[in-house]
């Protein structure tokens, strides 16, 4: 059983107009096997939270803590965080020219485990995961994300999730831009990872659509860099009916 | 309304700019078109290099006096060649009609080589079945030398020809490549010289009707290496793919000037050069001239150069030029970019547990592999990948070049 604890997190980003605070005191606790959905309107700080957990250099933590089983995540480099068990499925996965998917996955697996995976078992795992995600075998020989469609890029993120077996995954708007078939395939992948490894999931999304396939245990509504409301799955249903207007109006009034 | 007679005011003596200045030089008009650059086999037809000429402005010409002006050893040298059916390789006299069949020199050191070379190495390819030929030379020595190679791909022939150069050299040479009707030829020239070598080369290719040339330059070793491919799309439907890969270390000057001349309808060209630079004084130069002549209707052309700067203290010059003399083309474009590591790529790799140092190696290797992947010979590709790997191993990429 692992746990991520985020306490009173304040994060800012440097822009051309100067330092801009984005997260204004976030508290969150995620345990293994739990799925937390973070929902909220554009600009509420959802992606900032995702990238801050992963350690993107663009974001500055002004105060607060993030720990993984008591260890200070914020003191770790990006790759150390990954080796500690964190995974970020990116909203816009980056192209890496000249590096094949096979090479990339093996290099990452080796870095995470401290030793190269046994060839036969690894190849079999890759093949199975790719089949499950309805990825053509030719993907293995293609360069990472190069010329991939939006849906293919997201499948490739989930392929990594399944093969690298992290303790916690942050899914940053993995559902955006997916058609319903791709959404189902990707969701199945996340659910498989959950049942196989007891993955804890922080699911960041603008829409309630993906929550039909990945059932959240908790829903947190982000507004203006804070958690404005928390609840169970029923909160998502309410959002589906009402949208975010209620929260935006409240903020405007206060 | 007042009518002014403007003709009176255009009196040549009056308005500034109409009269010749006393500093002279008014008769000089810069070359208007790339194809007008003078050509000759006689070294006397070219003036001494000063470094102010457009084509020499990035080159340390003071190190080239022996090659551009001096006496050269023009005798045959030791060369090894693999056997293949339909391929002959022989030393021929400079009076042979094959000499000059692609083009004549445009530069003084090339003309110096032409006039002092005693025998040329001729490779002639026939036969439609694909074959691979490897020509190696590794004992040219440190004395100034001239050389000449003529490669002829007979009509409809097919081959991959690898020219591999290593060891020491102080060399100026011409390489002619004639791709006759319907032939499909790949020429890969690997400059893998020792650290002290100086090498100037002009590659002249003439590509005939419906013929295809893939021309690849890989420049890894040498102190000063300047290889200029001049690719003449002479026949209708001719096609050239010009690829280049270079890796400049501390103090190395690696230069490639590519000239693609579209001279026939429906000709196609793709130029893609990629380079990496690391260490104090590493200097690379890429100039890409594309000329689409008045007869080259339906032409499709694109050229690009990308440089990845790995450390401080390097310099990458990159100059694409595009001249179009016909209104009816299918496409023409160019791109040039020189940059540091892409932080987003590094973040992505690190977020998967890969250390920063290893992430940088992956990115550089991947960047250069794009060219290597297109060579088409597994053994050569593997050995070039190892070579890039070795270059990377000699440096620490954690040093910040941001």
CATH of residue A63: 3.40.50.300
pLDDT confidence bin for B4, thresholds 50/70/90 = very low
- Cβ–Cβ < 8 Å for B159, B131: yes
Cross-strand bridge partners of residue B203? B175, B229
Q: Can you tell me the distance from the alpha carbon of A55 to that of A67, in angstroms, rounded to the nearest whole number?
A: 13
Q: Can you tell me the distance from the alpha carbon of B304 to that of B106, in angstroms, rounded to the nearest whole number?
A: 23
Reported as a single tens digit per residue, the pLDDT across A196-235 is 999 999 999 988 899 999 999 999 999 999 999 999 999 9
Domain assignment present for A102: no
Comparing alpha-carbon positions, the chain B residue that sits nearest to A50 is B351
Give B372→chain A minimum CA distance, Å.
9
Average pLDDT, integer, range A92-103: 93
- Cβ–Cβ < 8 Å for B332, B301: yes
Share of chain B above pLDDT 70, in %: 90
pLDDT confidence bin for B27, thresholds 50/70/90 = low
Q: Can you tell me the distance from the alpha carbon of B103 to that of A189, in angstroms, rounded to the nearest whole number?
A: 61
For residue A94, the chain B residues in CB contact (below 8 A) are 342, 344-345, 347-348
Domain assignment present for A141: no
The DSSP code for B11 is -
Mean residue pLDDT across chain B: 91
Reported as a single tens digit per residue, the pLDDT across B274-315 is 999 999 999 999 999 999 999 999 999 999 999 999 889 999
For residue B345, the chain A residues in CB contact (below 8 A) are 94-96
A98–B contact, CB cutoff 8 A: yes
For residue B358, the chain A residues in CB contact (below 8 A) are 107, 111
Domain assignment present for A106: no
Domain assignment present for A107: no
Q: Which of B344, B365, B368 sits opposite A94 (nearest CB)?
A: B344
pLDDT confidence bin for A63, thresholds 50/70/90 = very high
In A44-143, DSSP assigns E strands to 59-68, 71-72, 86-89
Give the phi and the psi of residue A216 in degrees, each rounded to 5. Answer: -80, 145
pLDDT confidence bin for B23, thresholds 50/70/90 = low
Chain A interface mutation, best of B247, B308, B350, B384, highest count of A Cβ atoms under 10 Å: B350
Q: Can you tell me the distance from the alpha carbon of B152 to that of B378, in angstroms, rounded to the nearest whole number?
A: 24
In the prediction, which pLDDT does A248 show?
74
Average pLDDT, integer, range A48-61: 96
Between helix B378-393 and helix B356-372 the angle, nearest 10°, is 150
| Selection from B113, B117, B120 nearest residue B89 by Cα | B120
Structural domains counted in chain A? 1
Global pTM value: 0.80
Reported as a single tens digit per residue, the pLDDT across B168-213 is 999 999 999 999 999 999 999 999 999 999 999 999 999 999 999 9
- Cβ–Cβ < 8 Å for B158, B186: no
Residue A242 has pLDDT above 90, yes or no: no
A56–B contact, CB cutoff 8 A: yes
Give A86→chain B minimum CA distance, Å.
8
Query: String of b and e for B169-208 (b: at least 16 CB within 10 Å)?
Result: bbbbbbbbbbbbbbbbbbbbbbbbbeeebbbbbbbbbbbb
Domain assignment present for A7: yes
For residue B352, the chain A residues in CB contact (below 8 A) are 79, 82, 87, 104, 108, 111-112, 160, 164
* Domain layout of chain B by residue ranges: 59-341
Q: With an 8 Å Cβ cutoff, are A107 and B373 in contact?
A: no
With a CB cutoff of 8 Å and minimum separation 6, the contacts of A143 are: A95, A96, A97, A98, A99, A100, A101, B366
Chain B interface mutation, best of A54, A98, A110, highest count of B Cβ atoms under 10 Å: A98
> How far is residue B330 CA from its own chain's centroid?
25
The domain of A159 spans 3-91+151-253
Residue B131 has pLDDT above 50, yes or no: yes
For residue A107, the chain B residues in CB contact (below 8 A) are 354, 358, 362
pLDDT confidence bin for A17, thresholds 50/70/90 = confident
Reported as a single tens digit per residue, the pLDDT across B156-174 is 999 999 999 999 999 999 9
In the prediction, which pLDDT does B5 show?
47
Give B275→chain A minimum CA distance, Å.
14
In the prediction, which pLDDT does B182 show?
98
For the record, the structure tokens of A87 come out as 């995974």
Q: Can you tell me the distance from the alpha carbon of B240 to that of B125, in angstroms, rounded to the nearest whole number?
A: 18
Reported as a single tens digit per residue, the pLDDT across A111-131 is 999 999 999 999 999 999 999
Q: With an 8 Å Cβ cutoff, are A54 and B351 in contact?
A: yes
A96–B contact, CB cutoff 8 A: yes
Q: Which of B344, B347, B354 sits opposite A107 (nearest CB)?
A: B354
B65–A contact, CB cutoff 8 A: no
Q: Which of B342, B347, B362 sits opposite A99 (nearest CB)?
A: B362
In the prediction, which pLDDT does A253 show?
47
Domain assignment present for A236: yes
Dihedral (CA of A124, A125, A127, A132) sign: positive
A143–B contact, CB cutoff 8 A: yes
With a CB cutoff of 8 Å and minimum separation 6, the contacts of B390 are: none
Reported as a single tens digit per residue, the pLDDT across B333-386 is 999 999 988 899 999 999 999 999 899 989 998 999 889 989 988 999 998 998
A57–B contact, CB cutoff 8 A: yes
Comparing alpha-carbon positions, the chain A residue that sits nearest to B373 is A98
pLDDT confidence bin for A254, thresholds 50/70/90 = very low
pLDDT confidence bin for B69, thresholds 50/70/90 = very high
Reported as a single tens digit per residue, the pLDDT across B322-337 is 999 998 999 999 999 9
For residue B247, the chain A residues in CB contact (below 8 A) are none
Residue A176 has pLDDT above 70, yes or no: yes
Comparing alpha-carbon positions, the chain A residue that sits nearest to B345 is A94
Domain assignment present for A164: yes
In the prediction, which pLDDT does A73 show?
97
Mean residue pLDDT across chain A: 93
- Cβ–Cβ < 8 Å for B163, B81: no
For residue B373, the chain A residues in CB contact (below 8 A) are 98
With a CB cutoff of 8 Å and minimum separation 6, the contacts of A75 are: none
Q: With an 8 Å Cβ cutoff, are A97 and B347 in contact?
A: no
Between A104 and A14, the more confident residue is A104
């Amino acid at each position: 059983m692992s746990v991520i604890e985020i306490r009173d997190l304040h994060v800012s980003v440097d822009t051309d107009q100067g330092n801009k605070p984005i997260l204004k005191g976030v508290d969150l606790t995620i345990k293994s096997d739990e799925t937390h959905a973070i929902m909220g309107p554009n600009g509420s700080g959802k992606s900032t939270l995702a990238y801050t957990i992963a350690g993107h250099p663009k974001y500055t933590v002004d105060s607060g803590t993030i720990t993984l089983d008591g260890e200070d995540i914020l003191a770790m480099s990006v790759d150390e965080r990954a080796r500690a068990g964190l995974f970020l499925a990116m909203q816009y996965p980056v192209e890496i020219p000249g590096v094949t998917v096979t090479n990339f996955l093996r290099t990452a697996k080796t870095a995470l485990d401290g030793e190269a995976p046994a060839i036969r078992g690894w190849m079999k795992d890759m093949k199975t995961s790719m089949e499950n995600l309805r990825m053509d075998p030719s993907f293995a020989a293609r360069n990472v994300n190069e010329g991939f469609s939006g849906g293919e890029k997201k499948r490739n993120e989930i392929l990594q999730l399944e093969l690298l077996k992290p303790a916690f995954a942050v899914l940053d708007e993995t559902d955006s831009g997916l058609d319903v078939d791709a959404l189902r395939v990707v969701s199945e992948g996340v659910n498989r990872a959950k049942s196989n490894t007891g993955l804890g999931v922080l699911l960041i999304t603008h829409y309630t659509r993906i929550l039909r396939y990945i059932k959240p245990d908790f829903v947190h509504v982000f507004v203006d860099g804070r958690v404005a409301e928390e609840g169970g799955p029923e909160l998502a249903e309410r959002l589906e009916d009402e949208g975010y207007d209620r929260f935006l109006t409240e903020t405007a009034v206060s | 309304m007042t009518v002014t007679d403007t003709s009176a005011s255009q009196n040549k003596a009056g308005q500034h700019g109409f009269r010749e200045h006393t500093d002279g030089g008014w008769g000089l008009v810069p070359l208007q078109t790339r194809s007008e650059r003078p050509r000759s086999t006689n070294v006397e037809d070219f003036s001494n290099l000063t470094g102010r000429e457009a084509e020499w402005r990035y080159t340390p010409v003071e190190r080239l006096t022996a090659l551009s002006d001096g006496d050269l050893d023009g005798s045959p040298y030791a060369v090894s060649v693999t056997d293949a059916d339909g391929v002959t390789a022989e030393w021929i006299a400079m009076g042979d009609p094959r000499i000059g069949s692609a083009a004549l020199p445009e530069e003084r050191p090339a003309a110096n080589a032409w006039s002092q070379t005693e025998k040329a190495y001729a490779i002639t390819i026939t036969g439609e079945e694909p074959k691979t030929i490897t020509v190696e030379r590794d004992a040219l020595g440190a004395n100034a030398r001239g050389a000449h190679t003529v490669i002829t791909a007979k009509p409809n022939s097919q081959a991959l020809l690898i020219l591999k150069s290593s060891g020491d050299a102080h060399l100026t040479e011409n390489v002619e490549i004639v791709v006759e009707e319907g032939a499909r030829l790949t020429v890969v020239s690997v400059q893998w010289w020792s650290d002290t070598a100086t090498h100037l080369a002009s590659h002249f290719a003439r590509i005939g009707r419906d013929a295809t040339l893939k021309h690849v330059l890989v420049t890894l070793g040498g102190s000063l290496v300047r290889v200029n491919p001049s690719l003449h799309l002479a026949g209708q439907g001719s096609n050239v793919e010009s690829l280049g890969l270079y890796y400049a270390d501390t103090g190395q000057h690696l230069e490639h000037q590519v000239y693609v001349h579209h001279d026939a309808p429906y000709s196609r060209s793709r130029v893609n050069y990629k380079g990496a630079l690391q260490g104090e004084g590493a200097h690379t130069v890429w100039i890409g001239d594309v000329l689409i002549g008045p007869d080259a209707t339906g032409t499709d052309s694109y050229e690009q150069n990308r440089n990845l700067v790995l450390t401080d203290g390097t310099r990458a010059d990159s100059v694409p030029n595009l001249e179009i003399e016909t209104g009816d083309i299918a496409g023409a474009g160019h791109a040039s970019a020189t940059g540091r590591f892409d932080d987003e790529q590094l973040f992505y790799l690190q977020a998967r547990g890969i250390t920063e140092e290893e992430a940088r190696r992956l990115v550089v290797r991947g960047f250069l592999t794009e060219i290597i992947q297109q060579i088409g010979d597994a053994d050569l590709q593997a050995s070039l990948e190892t070579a890039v790997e070795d270059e990377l191993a000699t440096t620490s990429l954690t040093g910040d070049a941001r």
